[in-house]
Amino acid sequence: MNEQFVYDTYALIEILKENPSYLPYTEFKPIINEFIFAEFCYNLFKDNIENPEIYIEEVKSSVLHTDLKWIEEAMKFRLKWKKRKVSMADCIGYIVAEKLGIKFLTGDKEFYGMENVEFVR
C-alpha cells in the first residue's frame, strides 16, 4: 500500500484495538485534522485507556492544520447530511480528504458506499 488517507476517529480507535482489518493501514502515517485529534483524545479519556498520552503523542505529528474555507465547506456538507447525524469532525475529515485528493478512511456506516471513502470494518 502506498496510498495516503485522512483517518477518522473510528479508524484510529480500531487501529488502537488492533482490529485485523485495519492492520494494512498501520504501515503509513495517518493524516488527521484538529477536530479528529480532539475527538480521539476525548475517546481515549472516556474509555479510560491506559497511558493515553502515549497514543496522543503518536498522532500529534499527523495533525494537518485545516484551511478555514474547508471548514466552511464541511459545515455546508454537514447541514445537507443533517438527517444522518454525521459528526462535525467527520464532515471536516471527509472534506479535507477530498481537498487533498485522497480517501477518507472510516468504518462509520454513514459513509458506506460514498465516493472518496475507504470503508473498513
Instruction: Find out whether 32 and 7 touch, Cβ atoms under 8 Å.
Output: yes
Which letter, b or e, does each residue of 63-78 get, where b requires 16 or more Cβ atoms within 10 Å of its Cβ? beebeeebbebbeebb
pLDDT at 2: 59
CA angle (118 as vertex; 117, 121 as ends), nearest 5? 125
Instruction: Please give the residue range of the domain that contains residue 84.
Output: 5-119
| Confidence (pLDDT) at 93 | 98
- Report the domain count for the chain: 1
What pLDDT, on a 0 to 100 scale, did the predictor assign at position 92? 98
C-alpha angle with apex 31: 34 to 65, nearest 5 degrees?
40
Domain with residue 29: its CATH number is: 3.40.50.1010
- Please identify every stretch of the chain with a pLDDT value under 70, giving residue numbers as ranges: 1-2
The whole-model pTM stands at 0.94
